[in-house]
Structure 1
């Protein structure tokens, strides 16, 4: 007996509804546009995330890593204990396993990035504490 052969899946634009990023893991206005879900036969999940000016994620890590591709605007990212870096369209951020970091929009610009992260044991991110204003503005 032959098992069923996997088939290509096409998710049409608008299949998944955008949602507001939770205040539990983001500061400011953030919109998440899911592209495809976990459990799709692959181990990763993809979304486009738009941060309004000054909005950012909380500190977090990834159990398998994350790739971010900036598609518009000006953003900021920081690895724990290192300087803030500015990112622009076309820049790619590779965040290795377990590296504590945050990312978001610059104070005067929105920023959108594509996020691709791999799921491990039902989660692709481990959320930590909020990024303070002093941390965001590089004052501490």
Structure 2
């Protein structure tokens, strides 16, 4: 984390933070940036490898559908250090996304805003049309 903070002064927060997954990979204790599905993280199922959306993540993630219509509810689990790409959820009416931190240590960031690190049990509500990304800390 100190390296990202140091880079911020030279290239700005967004660019420095985008180096985080690479820093995690280089300095990871086990030398791995992907992982098998973790066990026992929460009462929610981890699910299957998120292959349908893999191109939007920097490494392995897993997804389990918890509820369907009228609104999809999913448990998405990230391998340590994995981040999803900057993205926007568009909607003609309503829309957006609600993130609920279930376990581990992660972070969330809106475009042009400081990093937010919700603790397990914390929530983040993102309205439609807001550009953002989120991910897991290196060792979590």
Scaled by the length of structure 1, the TM-score of the pair is: 0.59
Which aligned pairs between 1:1-140 and structure 2 lie closer than 5 A? 18-21=48-51, 22-37=53-68, 40=69, 42=70, 44-63=71-90, 64-109=95-140
Between the aligned partners of 2:50 and 2:89, the Cα distance in structure 1 is 21
Report the aligned-residue RMSD. Answer: 1.9
Greater helix share, structure number: 2
Larger Rg: 1
Determine the structure 2 residue equivalent to 1:117: none
Between the aligned partners of 1:19 and 1:33, the Cα distance in structure 2 is 9
Task: Give the SS at the match of 2:107.
Answer: strand
For structure 1, the 5+ residue unaligned runs are 1-12, 110-140
Scaled by the length of structure 2, the TM-score of the pair is: 0.59
Displaced runs of 4 or more, over 2 A = 17-23
Greater strand share, structure number: 1
1:37-58 CA-partner distances (Å, limit 9, x unpaired): 3xx2x1x111001011110111
Between the aligned partners of 1:51 and 1:94, the Cα distance in structure 2 is 19
Bigger RCO (CA 8 Å, 6+ sep):
1
How many corresponding residue pairs? 91
Between the aligned partners of 2:124 and 2:133, the Cα distance in structure 1 is 11
